[in-house]
Structure 1
Amino acid sequence: MATLSLFNLTSISPAFRFKVSAMAPSVVTTRVAPAVIVGGGRVGKALQGMGDGQDILLRRGDSVPIDFQGPILVCTRNDDLDSVLNSTPLSRWNDLVFFQNGMLEPWLESKGLKEGNQVLAYFAVSKLGESPIDGKTDTNPEGLTAAYGKWALAVSERLQAGGLSCKVLDKEAFEKQMLEKLIWICSVMLVGARHGGVPVGYVEKEFHLELCSLIAELASAAASEKGLIFEDAMEDRLCAYSRAVAHFPTAVKEFKWRNGWFYSLSEKAIAQGKQDPCPLHTQWLKDLKIV
């Protein structure tokens, strides 16, 4: 359900659009800041559908306008991020909002965007043009999607206007949730791939022990590397999310942005004469001839 708020219509800024709820007995509105949306795939089109025509949708190679005030929602593949920066005026880089899965921190830091806006999108868009499905679970019925940065509130308002949940988090809380999602995608996709690419729900049900063992292993490695402590019951949360998106197929993709980060921790430890912090992960990658 969208969060609904009453506004004094005489004080509304023209920079926002307002949606009237047909179910409300009086005028009830939700504001959504117009945005530039980079990427016309499933997520980009879904985000555009939450606007009212004031958004600008850019395709591959299009340049981001310098004079458009508002967030720039980046919904491309990770490997296209360099080209997105090249098409964006330097003065607008801090307005970029990254919706990509995976470990973006090293790339963001290399571009001077350590405090860059990010979104953990725990919602699914099955096909182009279909409405997104919120990834609410039995352990997190309030929803898991989260945003961080300068434009976090604007993103949250847009998603809530589209019927999705979205929390606004500070840097530390966001980093923990980002790592949890990274652990989920690296674990469930690898376990599924080693069993022929079975769906996510099948992994959670039939290979539950393998999945939980890998989640625990990667969580321990990430906590040690980042010097943080995760909330208890991570395995329960991530298995619950697996059930919520049970139809997703599994495959190890975008290696350098996902499993590659954990494999780099293994390589670093071994080079220093230490034990591999992710032995299951390393072995299963080798079994699939990914490394």
Structure 2
Amino acid sequence: MSTSFIKTRRQSPLVLLAAVGAFFLASVQCSCGWSLARGLSNLKYPSTTALSGSRGAAKWERKKAWLEKRGGDMDRNVDTTPPPFATIVGNGRIGGLLASAGNCVVLGRDDAVDASGEGPIFLATRNDALEGIINKTPENRRKDLVFLQNGYLDSFLESNGLMDNTQVLLYLSVPAKGVEPVDGVTSINREGLTAATGEWAQAFSDRLDTLDLKCNVVDAATYKPAMFEKLIWISTFMLVGTAKECTTVGEAGKLYKDVVADVINELVSAVSAKESITFPPGTLERLEAYTDVVADFPCAVKEFEWRNQYFWNLGDDAVPVHNGLLKECAQKGFLSFDLP
């Protein structure tokens, strides 16, 4: 037996032990790595990547529980396909929600829009920021601006030559940034009340669909009465709640149901005459059902020039109950502005 052979045999237990140790260490590292990866995949809001299948499934389970309480569509398929690329201006509650669907760039209101860019530009800002954003947007990209704001925008859009731009009615509540949104799905409108019209309406609908939220793509003729209906909702429940010293819109709708009905019916009649449009039957019932969904929303008369002023300008003869409640709020010192 050679010396080299004896040396090799004497080392073999050590080699075996080293191999076992290396295998054990690799197993531990693999397990830790897998646990870390699993933990990272459960982060609530990834940056601008598409939603993962596991996250989509988890969100759908929560959505099903929510829909069961409101009679929503239980057979919906979860779509994990990333939405079309978009620029999002604003990173608050709505902007952050839209960005969480991925495939986007997020800008602040003072950031420059890329003149050579493509795709929709979703404006998730307050109304008072719109003028500055439009002025900073290159002429060739202004057609891509998508307006998501509450209120009456027609006069503003017309004065800026943007009446043909995409508009969105957001029946969507985000209580705080990063918190699960409350969709505008009601016991009457199981398809949801959020609507969009214009060139980028489908792109917006696709983005909400990625987040398991609903949006109806409609033509301009359908959109107009729907826009006024949303304006009537926010102008009525906020006004009645403020005048009657309610904390929430749900309280206003419950305790002052008759007053709410009087205002809504009055505004529908006045707008129909002024704009020569016809509202689909059931406006009062639709708006009451939506109030049930966002019952905890606080009451306040604000952004007057974008909301209640449209109705105020129709005059006391056309909308006496509405204007009377505004005067009542002013007399009680509940307004942060002077009535015109």
Q: TM-score, normalised by structure 2?
A: 0.74
Question: Pairwise mapping of residues 173-192 of structure 1 onto structure 2 (< 5 A)?
Answer: 173-192=222-241
1:46: how far off? 0.5
The partner residue of 2:83 within 21, 32, 38 is 32
Could you tell me how far apart the structure 2 residues matched to 1:218 and 1:19 are?
Answer: 42
The partner residue of 1:50 within 88, 101, 111 is 101
Amino acid at match of 1:114: M
Q: Does residue 279 in structure 1 map to residue 320 in structure 2?
A: yes
The partner residue of 1:194 within 228, 238, 243 is 243
Residues 75 and 99 of structure 1 are in contact (CA less than 8 Å); yes or no, is this contact kept in structure 2? yes
1:32: how far off? 0.5
Q: For 1:158, what is the secondary structure of its paired residue? A: helix
Deviation string for 1:200-245 (max 9, x for gaps)?
A: 1111111111001100011111111110111111101000101110
The aligned counterpart of 1:21 is 53
The aligned counterpart of 2:218 is 169
The aligned counterpart of 1:253 is 302
Question: Pairwise mapping of residues 197-276 of structure 1 onto structure 2 (< 5 A)?
Answer: 197-266=246-315, 276=317
Could you tell me how far apart the structure 1 residues matched to 2:277 and 2:167 are?
Answer: 20
The aligned counterpart of 1:122 is 171
Residues 197 and 251 of structure 1 are in contact (CA less than 8 Å); yes or no, is this contact kept in structure 2? no
Could you tell me how far apart the structure 2 residues matched to 1:179 and 1:85 are?
Answer: 24
Deviation string for 1:35-73 (max 9, x for gaps)?
A: 11111110000000011xx31111131111112211000
More helix by share: 2
Q: For 2:199, what is the secondary structure of its paired residue? A: coil
Could you tell me how far apart the structure 2 residues matched to 1:39 and 1:201 are?
Answer: 29
1:127: how far off? 0.3
1:20: how far off? 5.7
Q: For 2:53, what is the secondary structure of its paired residue? A: coil
The aligned counterpart of 1:133 is 182
1:19: how far off? 5.3
Could you tell me how far apart the structure 1 residues matched to 2:79 and 2:222 are?
Answer: 32
Residues 20 and 28 of structure 1 are in contact (CA less than 8 Å); yes or no, is this contact kept in structure 2? no
Could you tell me how far apart the structure 2 residues matched to 1:91 and 1:69 are?
Answer: 10
Could you tell me how far apart the structure 1 residues matched to 2:111 and 2:50 are?
Answer: 28
Q: For 1:62, what is the secondary structure of its paired residue? A: coil
Could you tell me how far apart the structure 2 residues matched to 1:64 and 1:276 are?
Answer: 46
Amino acid at match of 1:155: F
Q: Does residue 288 in structure 1 map to residue 329 in structure 2?
A: yes
The aligned counterpart of 2:34 is none
Could you tell me how far apart the structure 2 residues matched to 1:208 and 1:178 are?
Answer: 22
Residues 249 and 295 of structure 2 are in contact (CA less than 8 Å); yes or no, is this contact kept in structure 1? yes
Deviation string for 1:171-196 (max 9, x for gaps)?
A: 01011110000000000000001022
Could you tell me how far apart the structure 2 residues matched to 1:121 and 1:74 are?
Answer: 12
Residues 74 and 98 of structure 1 are in contact (CA less than 8 Å); yes or no, is this contact kept in structure 2? yes
Q: Whose Rg is larger?
A: 2
Q: For 1:40, what is the secondary structure of its paired residue? A: coil
Q: Does residue 152 in structure 1 map to residue 201 in structure 2?
A: yes
Could you tell me how far apart the structure 2 residues matched to 1:197 and 1:49 are?
Answer: 34
Could you tell me how far apart the structure 2 residues matched to 1:92 and 1:161 are?
Answer: 25
4+ runs of 1 displaced by more than 2 Å?
A: 17-23, 27-31
Deviation string for 1:129-186 (max 9, x for gaps)?
A: 1121212111111110111100000000000110100000000101111000000000
The partner residue of 1:109 within 158, 167, 172 is 158
The partner residue of 2:147 within 86, 98, 123 is 98
RMSD: 1.9
Q: TM-score, normalised by structure 1?
A: 0.87
1:110: how far off? 0.6
What residue ranges of structure 1 are gaps of 5+ in the alignment? 1-16, 267-274
Could you tell me how far apart the structure 2 residues matched to 1:37 and 1:262 are?
Answer: 31
Q: Does residue 72 in structure 1 map to residue 104 in structure 2?
A: no
What residue ranges of structure 2 are gaps of 5+ in the alignment? 1-48, 58-77, 331-337
